[in-house]
A and B are shown apart, each in its own frame.
Chain A
C-alpha cells in the first residue's frame, strides 16, 4: 500500500488509507491477492451451480414436490430463482467503482481512515490458508464497503458480504453491491424451509470454497444507538455447522472494530429512534445545515482482535465433532450443548469487538454534557472531567483516542465536531445542549397518578416540540453510549445506591438483580450468574474507592470528587432506567389487557413526552422507541410480559402482562431508585390486585 506515514497510537501501529491518491492510479493499482491454498477457485456462478446440485437441496426438492403435489421442475425453478436472488456476482471493477465513490465522498468530510497494521497482516495471512469470517461492528452503512475497500488497497482477497434484504429494494445500489460481493438474505425466513436451506448451503459453499472470506455483521443490523447489540446467531450457526461436520478443519473468526469519530448517519438514527421519519418543516433547516459536504466527521479507525479459532473455541467449550460422525452429512442438527456454544461464541466475538472499539473524546464530552445538563457547563470544568473520565475508562481497559497531548486542544476538537452536528451550542462561554425548539415545561404537581398524566392533554405542537428536542440529546446519547459498556454493572450498582445515604447489602443485591434483569436486553451484561456479577461489581467499586462497606451497610464514599464521579457513572444509564420506569407505569395502566406491540410503543412514548412536559423527568432520551422495545424484550425474558407470538404470525405482535405482582414490585423499586425513594407519580389507583 502506497500510503501515508504510519503512526503508533496506544501501542498499535496504524497505516492510513491513501484517500488522496489520484483516481487513475487507484483504479489501475494491481490487485492479485494470493489465493487460499485450498480453494478450487470457483467463480460466483460455479458456486451457485454447486449449491443447486447439492445433495441436501436435491433431497428437499424431492420432498417438497411430493408433499406439495407439485412437479419437481417447478420446485427447481423456484430454487433457481432463490439462488439468483441470494448469490453475489463479485467482479473487481464494481468493487473499484464503489470504493472510488466512497473515497470521493470521504476525502472531503473525514480526516483519515486508519488501519491497524499487525491485525491487517494477520488477516492477510489467515485468508491464505483458512476459511475466514470477518465480523465487523456495525455502526454505519459505510461498513459494507469499508472492509472491501481497505482489503482491495492491501491486496488481500475480498470478502463475500452477507447483506440484509432491505438493500434489495434499491435497484441500482443492490446491483452494485451484488457485484461488489454482497449476497442477500431475507429478513425472516423462519418457516420457509426451502429458502433457509438454500441460504445455508449457499453460505456454506462460499465458506468451504475459501475463494473469499465471508463478512457479516454479528449484530444483524446497524446499531442506531451505538451500543453493542446482542448477537444474532443464525449466520454464526451456519458457519459452525461445516466445522462440526468436518467440511473444514477450522474457521477463523476475525472480529473487527470500526470506530467512527462521528457516525455519518447520526441524525438519521436519532430520527429513527424517535420514530419521526421525516424532519418536520420547522426543523429542516437544522438538518440542511448539516449537509455532508461541509462538515467534518473526524477520523475512522479499524482495529483487529486476535482471531478466534473455532476449533480451539469448541475444544475449550467441550464440544466434540465426533458425535456428528455417525450422522449423514446432508442432515445436520445441533446436538446438546452446541447451541449454547454458538451463543457463547457470539458474545465472545462482541466482547472482542467492544474491547477494541476506540473511545473518542467526543463520547466523553457527550457523556458529561448529558450528565451536567443544566443550563450549560464551563469549559474548564468539562476539560477537567474529561481527563477524569478518560482515566477511568483506561483503568478498565478501554482505549481512548486522545489525538493531542493537550487536553484543551482535544476538547476544542470535539467541541467543533459536536457543533457541526448541531447538538450543542456555546452560550456565554458555557457549553450546552442545543434545543431545536424552545419548549414550555410545566412544573410537576405533587401526588399525580399515571392516569392523571395520561389523560392530561398535550397539544400536538407541544408534543412535536418535545419529540424534536429529543433529537439533539439522542445524538449526544449516541456518543455517550459508546463508552457505557466499560462501566455497565458499576453503573447499575451505583444507580441502586445513589441519592441514598446508606443501603443494606441485601436490599442492594435485590435491586441490583432487578435492575440488571430489566436492562438485560438493553445492554450486554457481564456473563455468569447474577449473584457472582453482584459480588464482583461490589468488590470492584470498593477497590476503586467509590463505595464503602461497613457491617452490612453500603455507602457512597463521601469525598466530593468521588461523589460526582459516582453520580456521573450512574448517570450514564439514567435515561434507560427512567425508560424502564415509564414502561412499567404504562404497563400498569394496561391493567392486564392485551395490546399490540406497535401501539404499546407509541403510547409509552407519549406517556414519556407527557412526563417530560409536566416536568417529572428531564431526559429527552426516554422518547426513544428503542428503549421500550428493549425493555419489552427484557420483560419477556424475566417473565413479566409475554408475547403470544405464534398465535398471530404475520400480524403485529401482542403485549400482555403475565406477572402483575412482579411488575408492581419492579415499578416500585425502580421508582425508588430513580427518585430517591419517593416517585412523583404513583400507580395506586390502578392496583386492583
Chain B
C-alpha cells in the first residue's frame, strides 16, 4: 500500500481491463471488478426487492427495532447490530415518569396494504417498452411503488402505518445500471413526457420523494442503487470515482478493503446513497476532519433533459465563475440525475478513540464548543447533548441504576470537583478522534484542558463510545414511539454562536407552549444537541416527541402545526432553514423569504433552461 508504484499499477490495471469490461451491457467501464474480485462474497446493503429485508413502514431493517417484552421491559433486537438483544430496563419507567408513557395505550401499525388497496398505476406501456433495453430492471409491483413513494418524515410514516394510503404513488420503478442508461432513460422520458423522480436510499426527511398530487403524467422512480460500483481509485491523488447509487455502508466497506475511507458518515449511512448526499447537500458526523459533502466531491456527472453537466479536469480548485457543481449540490432531484461522482478519499485512520466530557450545564458546554471552534482544534466529531439527552443516554443501557453509573464513576475520580453538578442540569459532550496514536493523544489532552475552563470533567472513553454506538439504533426508537401513540421528528438548523443557547431554550419553550395550547396533555419530549461546530456558528439538532392520543385533532395536522411553528421559532431566533436536511417540500414555504425573490428567480431560470418540460417534476425546493 505504501509503495506508490504498486498503487499506480492497480490504477493501470483498471485501465487495461477496459476492453473486457466493455462487454458489460452498459457499455461503460466497470472498474469495480478488480476491486471486488478479491472478495467475491461482498453483499449489498439490501437487494433490489428492498422489502425482503427492509421495513415497509419504518426505519431500516425489518428484523430490527425496539419492543417491549411481556414484562413491559424495552429491548432492542437487530441481528446486524452489536447491540442485538440489549435489554433496557430503565427506559419505560423513565418514560412513564417523564413523558406520561402508558403502555396500555397503543397505536400499532396497520398491516401492509394489499395491492388491491393501492391506486393502480397510470399505464405508460410505450415508454416502458422503450426503456426496457436501458435498464437492469423495471417494476410496477404495488410494494415497489409504495416503497418508492415516500421518505422518512413523521407524517409520511404515519400515513403508511395508518392504513389509509391515499397518496399519489409512482407508477413504475426503473433500475438503471450505468450513466448511459440514465442518459437514455431521461431522453425517452422527454420524448414521452414522463415525470422522473430519482431515488437513492429513500431516507430523506424533507418530503422530497412525495409525488406531487397534481402530477398528471406517469411518474417513474429512478432507483439508483444498481449503480453501486467504485469505477476507479486513484491512490496518488486520493480520489475515487464512484457511481452515485452506492449505499453508504457499501461504499465504506469497499473503500476499507483498499485501506481507505470517504469519511462521510451521516447517521443514515447504512441506507442513504452517494447521489442522495449530493442531491441534498448532506453532512456527515466527521465533517471536521473530512468535510461536508460539498468539500468531498471533486467532480459530479449529472444527466439532465438538456444534456450532461460535467467538467473536464480534476484540479482541486478553480476560478471559472460560479461553481456549477453547486447547482447540483442540493438540487434535490429537480434538475437531473447524478450518475457518477469523483470524491476525495483518505487512508483509514490508525486509531479511532472516543471520549466524553460532562459539564455542569448545557450553557457551559456551548461555551466550550465555541472555544474549541475558535481554537480550530475540533476532533473528527464533537457533539454536545443537552440534559435530557444526557439522561436518555444514561437510561439506554442495561444497568439497573439510572444516571448513577457515569455520575458515580466521575465522582470517584473527582471527589471534590464534582460538587456543582446537578444531574438535572448537566450536559455531556462526546468526542471522536481519529489519526495516529500521537495525534489522537495530543488532541485529547488539548480538548480536556480546554474543558477545564468551563468546569468540564472527562467522563471517560466508554461513555463516548456508547454515544456513537447508539447513533445507528436510535433511528429505530421512533417506530416504537409510534406504536404507543407518540409522533416524533427531528429537525436541525445552523446558527451563529452567540445565538445558540437562547435559540435552544426559546425553541423548547415555544414547542412546549404550543403543545399545551393544542391540548397535548402528556409532557412532550423536546431535546437538542449541538452536532457540528464551525468558525462562526454551529449546527443544532432537535428531537421532538409528543403523544397525540388525547388530542381530538387529526394527528398529521396537529404535527404540521407544531413542526411549522417550531421552524418559525428557529428562523425567528436567527437559525437557518436547514443545515443538512434540505428543503424538499416541507420547508418550501419559507424559502422565498430566506433567499429573496430574486435569488429564487435565479434558481427558476436554471430550472427552466435545463429542464423546460419539467421532467424532474418532484416539485422540491422551488416554491
Which A residues lie at the B interface, using CB under 8 A?
Answer: 38, 129, 246-250, 320-322, 324-326, 328-329
Contacts and interface: CB of A to CB of B under 8 A. Distances in A.
B572 interface: yes
8 contacts: A246-B503, A246-B572, A248-B502, A249-B569, A250-B509, A250-B513, A328-B498, A329-B499
Interface in B500-518: 502-503, 505-507, 509-510, 513
Given A329-B498, A329-B499, A324 B506 contact: no
A419 B324 CA distance: 89
B509 A246 contact: no
Contacts of A246: 499, 502-503, 506, 572-574
Nearest to A37: B509
Contacts of B572: 246, 320-322, 325
Main secondary structure of the interface of B (DSSP, over half): helix
A248 B593 CA distance: 23
Query: A-B pairs with the 7 shortest C-beta distances?
Result: A325-B574, A249-B506, A321-B572, A246-B573, A249-B509, A246-B502, A247-B502
A248 B571 contact: no
Given A322-B593, A329-B498, A329-B499, A38 B505 contact: yes
Contacts of A324: 574
Interface in B569-596: 569, 571-575, 593
Contacts of A249: 505-507, 509-510, 569
A246 B507 CA distance: 10
B544 to A, nearest CB: 16
Contacts of A38: 505
A436 to B, nearest CB: 58
A431 B449 CA distance: 85
Given A249-B509, A250-B509, A321 B573 contact: yes
A502 to B, nearest CB: 54
B506 A248 contact: yes
Contacts of A325: 499, 571-575
A341 to B, nearest CB: 15
Nearest to B572: A321
Given A249-B510, A325-B573, 8 more contacts: A246-B503, A246-B506, A246-B574, A247-B502, A250-B513, A321-B572, A324-B574, A329-B499
A209 to B, nearest CB: 13
Nearest to A246: B573
Nearest to A208: B502
Contacts, number: 38
B493 to A, nearest CB: 11
Given A249-B510, A250-B509, A322 B503 contact: no
A38 B505 CA distance: 9
A374 B168 CA distance: 85
A250 B505 CA distance: 11
Nearest to B506: A249
B98 to A, nearest CB: 15
B592 to A, nearest CB: 12
Contacts of A250: 509, 513
Contacts of B505: 38, 249
B463 to A, nearest CB: 26
Nearest to A327: B574
Nearest to B594: A322
Contacts of B513: 250
A38 B425 CA distance: 11
Nearest to B361: A40
Nearest to B569: A249
Contacts of A321: 572-573
Best-surrounded residue of A38, A246, A250, A325 (most CB of chain B within 10 A): A246
Nearest to A55: B498
B571 A322 contact: yes
A514 to B, nearest CB: 44
A176 B259 CA distance: 75
A249 B565 CA distance: 13
A59 to B, nearest CB: 14
B514 to A, nearest CB: 11
Nearest to A129: B509
B562 to A, nearest CB: 15
A324 B502 CA distance: 14
Which residue of A38, A320, A325, A328 has the most chain B CB atoms within 10 A of its CB atom?
A: A325
Nearest to B508: A249
Contacts of B509: 129, 249-250
Contacts of A129: 509
A324 B509 CA distance: 20
A248 B506 CA distance: 6
A249 B503 CA distance: 8
Contacts of B499: 246, 325, 329
Residue from B507, B573, B593 with most neighbouring chain A CB atoms (10 Å): B573
**Which of A249, A320, A328: most chain B Cβ within 10 A?**
A249
Nearest to B571: A322
Nearest to B507: A249
Nearest to A328: B498
Nearest to B593: A322
A248 B499 CA distance: 11
A324 B573 CA distance: 8
A38 B387 CA distance: 13
Interface in B478-522: 498-499, 502-503, 505-507, 509-510, 513
Contacts of A247: 502
A511 to B, nearest CB: 47
A15 B572 CA distance: 41
B351 to A, nearest CB: 39
A247 B503 CA distance: 8
Contacts of A329: 498-499
A559 to B, nearest CB: 51
A38 B362 CA distance: 12
Nearest to A38: B505
A249 B513 CA distance: 11
A320 B505 CA distance: 18
B386 to A, nearest CB: 13
Contacts of A320: 572
A170 to B, nearest CB: 39
B155 to A, nearest CB: 25
A328 B574 CA distance: 10
A80 to B, nearest CB: 25
Q: Which of A248, A322, A324 has the most CB of B within 10 A?
A: A322
A325 to B, nearest CB: 3
Interface string B341-385: 000000000000000000000000000000000000000000000
Interface in B51-83: none
A246 B495 CA distance: 12
A129 B510 CA distance: 12
A437 to B, nearest CB: 62
B307 to A, nearest CB: 38
A7 to B, nearest CB: 31
A371 to B, nearest CB: 49
A326 B574 CA distance: 7
A38 B512 CA distance: 14
A681 to B, nearest CB: 60
A125 to B, nearest CB: 12
B347 to A, nearest CB: 41
Residue among B509, B510, B575 with max Cβ neighbours from chain A (10 Å): B509
A246 B503 CA distance: 7
Nearest to A247: B502
Contacts of B575: 325
A247 B575 CA distance: 13
A223 B569 CA distance: 39
A325 B572 CA distance: 7
Nearest to B512: A129
Contacts of B507: 249
Contacts of B506: 246, 248-249
A391 to B, nearest CB: 39
Contacts of B574: 246, 322, 324-326
A328 B536 CA distance: 12
A250 B514 CA distance: 13
Nearest to A330: B498
